[in-house]
């Protein structure tokens, strides 16, 4: 009976839900592990740069030696950290967490030139760097040529002259009046409906950055071209840069009108806030400066991922798509494959369309809602506008073309969605094609090579047919578990062992204290507790994901020592403290100092 529904694509598997598919997948992974005789052994450092370099080098060496065998699964993953004891499963889980944080960090990458194909010597690395530099120079020259050609094509176009003119912010624009402050149609010269709608979306985000000048700055931003406004809605960094630029104009205007005017408006204080904001976000240039800055240091060391929409969900950042960078993405795919194979969690939380590419599933328009929900809603409103009675007039006023401005994380600059797209207006008749091309370009075209590299890495470890029954949601639950720690779920999974020798009443009271403290913890503290306990910050989606199940050993009474943990067997050791307050203090201190004992 176990074979019922086992055929690829069986409708029974789909009807069974996650539990059925998880159980089937776990059995397949166990069978695959048991067929292997070789282990993967990694020796790494906790330092981020060294961790990335050492992990990349060792994964390349391991998988490079066995390139004739596909997939290249392993029986077990053994990890040791420099100057730390142990190499058990708890250390491996700690490694998956550490390498995920290193890859997702917004810091620049370390030098990776000597990592790939290290066994081929430095000559290969030098030749690759020269090839990459030549390719970058040629690509840069092609981009300049395209800009010159595009500029020549648009010389006689009134619409495009207007678009270029509106790239600069102006202090003379009128403030934006949101609907919450009265009916905008009551104004003597109301904004067109589409501009008002864009303003309603921009205003709360501008208000969060500069509450005192939100109306003025929003009005200034609305003078930009529709393509630029779409970029601001899509990129928080681009919006912040434009808001800072607007504040500088307002401050400069105030100073020209005298110090009294500045004091009346509170602009001196705002100037300090602009500088403080830039320091906090690492920016000291206007968005125009960034757009015109075409220089780089020749290295492809930008962060590997960025968060285009909801915080905590990541998409590959292509950078210059050098061989070393793409090798990074391939190794990320390998790590995801190893976690699935070994029944371990990996906190690399990817956007939905990325997971669908990894699984070989088709990415569609609605996946864009998970990628960039604000932009998705803007495009949806654009489709609705195409169905109105005055659609032609609305689209003519919006002045959109089949060309979009990309944020720096996606490569920057203007790209055409179709041939000669900069001169093809978006109309009610072709808006569906525009929306589809827009979503497709930002989700797939921009990061095509990194996405392909990640899928290749995943298939280096796992057979393709093992992923066929999984949806994006199944994959996320298997790889990431439950990001929010549910206390009731944790209680149901946890067992207690008594080494204190105390009576049942005291033990029951202690358990109540413990769970009461955990329930009142913040979500971050709960994640810290689970990490301290198991070396993973998340709970598995089901009981099958634990190996072994979590447990707590109650030690003899002792108010001096902190709790400890054996992460390899997911076990907490907690002394029988004399009061609930002491238990809380000791537990919180332990999870912050990470006082685990790897075995």
pLDDT in tens, 340-354: 999 999 999 999 999
- Strand order of the sheet with strand 495-498? 495-498, 551-555, 571-575, 564-566
The confidence score (pLDDT) of residue 289 equals 44
pLDDT digits (tens, 9 = 90+) for 480-538: 998 788 899 999 989 999 999 889 999 999 999 999 999 999 999 999 999 999 888 88
- CATH label of the domain that carries residue 492: 3.30.2410.10
Measured on CA atoms in the order 386, 388, 390, 394, is the torsion positive or negative?
A: negative
What phi, psi does 486 have (nearest 5°)?
Answer: -85, 115
Distance CA 495, CA 553 (A): 9
Instruction: Identify whether residues 493 and 577 lie together within a single domain.
Output: yes
> Which phi and psi (to 5°) does residue 220 adopt?
-65, -40
Report which of residues 287 and 32 the model is more confident about: 32
Could you give the dihedral angle defined by the CA atoms of residues 150, 156, 162 and 168, in that order, rounded to the nearest 10 degrees?
50
Query: Which CATH number characterizes residue 421's domain?
Result: 3.30.2160.10
DSSP string covering 520-573, please?
TS-HHHHHHHHHHHHSSSSB-SSGGG-SS--EEEEESP-SSSPPEEEGGGTEEE
Residue 170 — very low, low, confident or very high, per pLDDT cuts 50/70/90? confident
Mean pLDDT, rounded, for 85-107: 90
Q: Is residue 388 part of a domain?
A: yes
> Nearest 5°: phi and psi at 581?
-65, -40
How far is it, in rounded angstroms, from Cα 397 to Cα 157? 15
134-148, 156-170, 412-426: which range is least confident on average? 156-170
Would you say residue 120 lies in a domain? no
pLDDT band at 158 (very low <50, low <70, confident <90, very high): very low
Residue 6 lies in a domain: no
Do 539 and 509 lie in one domain? The reply is yes
86-95, 111-120, 200-209, 355-364, range with greatest mean pLDDT: 355-364
Q: Is pLDDT at 396 greater than 70 in this prediction? A: yes
Torsion angle of C-alpha atoms 511, 513, 516, 522, degrees rounded to 10: -110
Q: Who wins on pLDDT, 188 or 598?
A: 188
**pLDDT for position 571:** 93
71 and 461 Cβ atoms separated by less than 8 Å: yes
CB of 371 within 8 A of CB of 315? yes
- Examine the domain organization and report whether 307 and 456 are in the same domain: yes
Mean pLDDT across the chain: 82
According to DSSP H, which parts of 223-266 are helical? 226-234, 236-256, 259-265
The pLDDT of residue 562 is above 60: yes
**Which pLDDT does position 545 carry in this prediction?**
76
Residue 240's pLDDT band (cuts 50, 70, 90) = confident
Q: Where are the alpha helices (DSSP H) in 343-446?
A: 352-359, 368-371, 373-385, 391-398, 431-440
User: What is the C-alpha separation between 349 and 311, in angstroms, rounded?
Assistant: 10
Q: Do 442 and 578 sit in the same domain of this protein?
A: no
Percent pLDDT > 90 in the chain is: 47
512-533 residues labelled b (16+ CB within 10 A) or e (exposed)? ebbeebbeebeeebbbbbbbbb
- CB-based contacts of 208-214 (< 8 A; 24+ apart in sequence): 209/239, 209/240, 209/243, 209/277, 210/243, 210/247, 210/270, 210/273, 212/266, 212/270, 213/246, 213/247, 213/250, 213/270
Q: How does residue 181 score in pLDDT terms, banded at 50, 70 and 90?
A: confident
In a domain, 10, yes or no: no
Shared domain for 209 and 339, answered yes or no, is: no
pTM of the model: 0.76
201 or 107: which leads in pLDDT? 107
Question: What's 214's domain CATH number?
Answer: 1.10.1900.10
Do 314 and 373 lie in a common domain? no
Q: How many residues does the chain have?
A: 599
| pLDDT confidence of residue 309 | 86
Residue 569's domain spans which residues? 487-592
Q: Determine which of 67-71, 312-316, 477-481 has the lowest per-residue pLDDT on average.
A: 67-71
Active site residues: 568
567 within 8 A of 90, measured Cβ to Cβ: yes
Check whether 596 has a pLDDT greater than 50.
Answer: no
The reply to whether 65 and 197 lie within a common domain is no
Residues 318 and 458 in one domain: yes
When mean pLDDT is compared across 125-134, 146-155, 309-318, the lowest value belongs to 146-155
Tally the domains of the chain. Answer: 4
Alpha-helical regions (H) of 257-302: 259-265, 267-281, 287-292
**Contacting residues for 589 by C-beta, under 8 A, at least 6 apart:** 562
Whether residue 286 is contained in a domain is answered as: no
In a domain, 178, yes or no: no
Residue 212 lies in a domain: yes
Residues 235-252 have a mean pLDDT of 85
Flag whether pLDDT at 589 surpasses 80: yes
Tell whether the model's pLDDT for residue 288 goes beyond 70. Answer: no
pLDDT digits (tens, 9 = 90+) for 290-317: 444 444 556 789 999 999 988 899 999 9
Identify which of 7, 93, 87, 83 has the alpha carbon closest to the alpha carbon of residue 46: 83
- Rounded to an integer, what distance in angstroms lies between the CA atom of residue 339 and that of residue 30? 12
The answer on pLDDT for 436 being more than 90 is yes
Q: What pLDDT is attached to residue 535?
A: 85
Instruction: State the pLDDT at residue 51.
Output: 96
Q: What is the pLDDT of residue 241?
A: 85
User: What pLDDT, on the 0 to 100 scale, is given for residue 342?
Assistant: 94
Q: What is the CATH number of the domain that holds 76?
A: 3.90.1750.10
**Same structural domain for residues 491 and 579?**
yes
| Contacts of residue 387, Cβ cutoff 8 Å, sequence gap at least 6 | 428
Q: Among 73-77, 498-502, 580-584, 595-599, which is the least confidently predicted range?
A: 595-599
Q: Which range is least confidently modeled, 265-274, 409-418, 566-575?
A: 265-274
Rounded to a whole number, what is the distance in angstroms from the first to the last CA of the chain? 40
Model confidence at 129: pLDDT above 60? no
pLDDT of residue 248: 87
Residue at 128 is within a domain: no
Angle at 492 between CA 489 and CA 494, to 5 degrees: 110
Whether 326 and 393 share a structural domain: no
- 473 and 350, same structural domain? yes
Are 313 and 462 part of one and the same domain?
yes
């Amino acid at each position: 009976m176990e074979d019922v529904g086992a055929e690829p694509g069986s409708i029974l598997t789909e009807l069974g839900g996650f539990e059925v598919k998880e159980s089937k997948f776990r059995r397949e992974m166990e069978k695959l592990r048991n067929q292997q005789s070789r282990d993967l052994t990694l020796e790494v450092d906790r330092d981020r740069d060294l961790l990335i370099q050492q992990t990349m080098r060792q994964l390349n060496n391991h998988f490079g030696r066995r390139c004739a065998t596909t997939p290249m699964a392993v029986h077990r993953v053994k990890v040791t950290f420099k100057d730390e004891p142990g190499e058990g499963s708890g250390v491996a889980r700690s490694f998956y967490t550490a390498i995920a944080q290193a890859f997702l960090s917004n810091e620049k990458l370390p030098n990776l030139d000597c990592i790939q194909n290290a066994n081929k010597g430095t000559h290969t690395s030098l030749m690759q760097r020269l090839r990459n530099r030549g390719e970058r120079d040629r690509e840069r020259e092609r981009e300049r040529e395209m800009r010159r050609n595009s500029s020549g094509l648009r010389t006689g176009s009134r619409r495009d002259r207007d678009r270029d003119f509106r790239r600069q912010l102006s202090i003379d624009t009128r403030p934006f009046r949101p609907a919450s402050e009265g009916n905008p149609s009551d104004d003597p010269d109301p904004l067109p409906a589409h501009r008002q709608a864009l303003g309603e979306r921009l205003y709360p985000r501008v208000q969060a950055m500069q509450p005192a000048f939100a109306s003025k700055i929003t009005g200034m931003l609305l003078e930009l071209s529709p393509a630029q406004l779409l970029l601001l809605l899509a990129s928080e960094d681009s919006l912040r840069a434009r808001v800072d630029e607007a504040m500088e104009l307002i401050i400069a205007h105030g100073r020209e009108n005298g110090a009294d005017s500045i004091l009346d408006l509170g602009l001196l204080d705002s100037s300090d806030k602009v500088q403080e904001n830039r320091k906090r976000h690492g920016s000291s240039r206007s968005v125009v400066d960034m757009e015109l800055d075409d220089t780089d240091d020749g290295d492809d060391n930008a962060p590997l991922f960025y968060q285009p929409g909801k915080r905590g969900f990541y998409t590959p950042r292509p950078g210059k798509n050098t061989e070393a960078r793409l090798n990074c993405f391939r190794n990320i795919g390998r790590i995801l494959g190893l976690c699935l194979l070994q029944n371990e969690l990996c906190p690399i939380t990817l956007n939905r369309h990325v997971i669908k590419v990894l699984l070989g599933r088709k990415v569609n328009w609605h996946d864009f809602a998970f990628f960039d929900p604000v932009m998705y809603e803007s495009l949806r409103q654009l489709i609705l506008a195409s169905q109105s009675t005055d659609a032609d007039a609305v689209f003519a006023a919006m002045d959109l073309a089949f060309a979009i401005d990309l944020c720096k994380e996606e490569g920057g600059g203007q790209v055409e969605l179709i041939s000669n797209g900069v001169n093809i207006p978006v109309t009610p008749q072709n808006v569906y094609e525009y929306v589809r091309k827009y979503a497709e370009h930002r989700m797939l075209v921009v990061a095509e090579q990194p996405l392909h590299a990640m899928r290749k890495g995943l298939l280096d470890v796992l057979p393709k047919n093992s992923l066929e029954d999984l949806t994006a949601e199944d994959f996320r639950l298997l790889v990431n578990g439950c990001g929010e720690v549910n206390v009731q779920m944790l209680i149901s999974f946890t067992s207690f062992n008594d080494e204190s020798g105390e009576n049942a009443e005291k033990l029951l009271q202690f358990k109540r204290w413990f769970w009461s403290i955990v329930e009142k913890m913040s979500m971050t503290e709960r994640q810290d507790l689970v990490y301290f306990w198991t070396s993973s910050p998340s709970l598995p989606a089901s009981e099958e994901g634990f190996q072994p199940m979590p447990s707590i050993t109650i030690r003899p009474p002792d108010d001096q020592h902190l709790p400890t943990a054996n992460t390899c067997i997911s076990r907490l050791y907690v002394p029988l403290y004399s009061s609930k307050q002491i238990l809380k203090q000791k537990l919180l201190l332990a999870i912050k100092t990470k006082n685990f004992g790897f075995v």
